[in-house]
């Protein structure tokens, strides 16, 4: 199953969803679309997502242009503090994020997520 953490108001998220939907349709894969602002991720889910991204740099998951990024001093935050902030303020999560087979990629640019579907 492919999962996309999606914000329907974001053009990059919509573009990524279209790419992922086409791949899912072509390959008869299930697609789960999660509007993470309506169904926020909890701390453990965010931790798993960070691991799936293949990095321990939580900054990759943060939208640094949001007002809370500065007010909560997230540029200096440790992983636990940053993930807690995202759980409390879902709009801080970088978008979109696509997961497939225990790996994840951020759709910036949207084509970046296609790397998840390449055969090794």
Q: Which pLDDT does position 119 carry in this prediction?
A: 74
Q: How many domains does the chain have?
A: 1
Identify whether 72 is part of a domain: no
What is the SS3 assignment for 105? Answer: strand
Contact call for residues 61 and 40 (beta carbons, < 8 A): no
Q: Which pLDDT does position 49 carry in this prediction?
A: 97
Closest among 79, 88, 85, 86 to 57, alpha carbons compared: 79
Q: For residue 30, what are the domain limits?
A: 1-36+95-120
Q: Per 3-state DSSP, what percentage of the chain is helix, strand, and coil (rounded to 5)?
A: 50, 15, 35
Q: HSE on the CB side for 118, CA within 13 Å?
A: 8
For the chain, count helices (H), then strands (E): 4, 4
What Rg do the C-alpha atoms of the chain give, in angstroms? 14
Mind telling me the catalytic residues?
Answer: 10
Identify whether 23 is part of a domain: yes
Identify whether 28 is part of a domain: yes
Identify whether 57 is part of a domain: no
Please tell me the pTM assigned to this model. Answer: 0.94
Residue 120 has pLDDT above 80, yes or no: no
Residues 71-102 pLDDT 10s: 999 999 999 999 999 999 999 999 999 999 99
């Amino acid at each position: 199953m492919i999962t996309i953490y999606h914000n329907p108001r974001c053009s990059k998220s919509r573009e990524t969803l279209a790419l992922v939907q086409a791949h899912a349709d072509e390959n008869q894969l299930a697609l789960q679309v999660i509007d993470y602002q309506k169904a926020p991720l909890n701390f453990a889910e965010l931790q798993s997502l960070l691991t799936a991204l293949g990095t321990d740099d939580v900054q990759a998951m943060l939208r640094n242009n949001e007002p809370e990024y500065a007010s909560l001093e997230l540029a200096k935050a440790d992983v636990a503090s940053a993930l807690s902030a995202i759980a409390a303020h879902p709009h801080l999560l970088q978008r979109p994020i696509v997961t497939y087979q225990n790996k994840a990629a951020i759709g910036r640019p949207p084509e970046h997520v296609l790397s998840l579907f390449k055969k090794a």
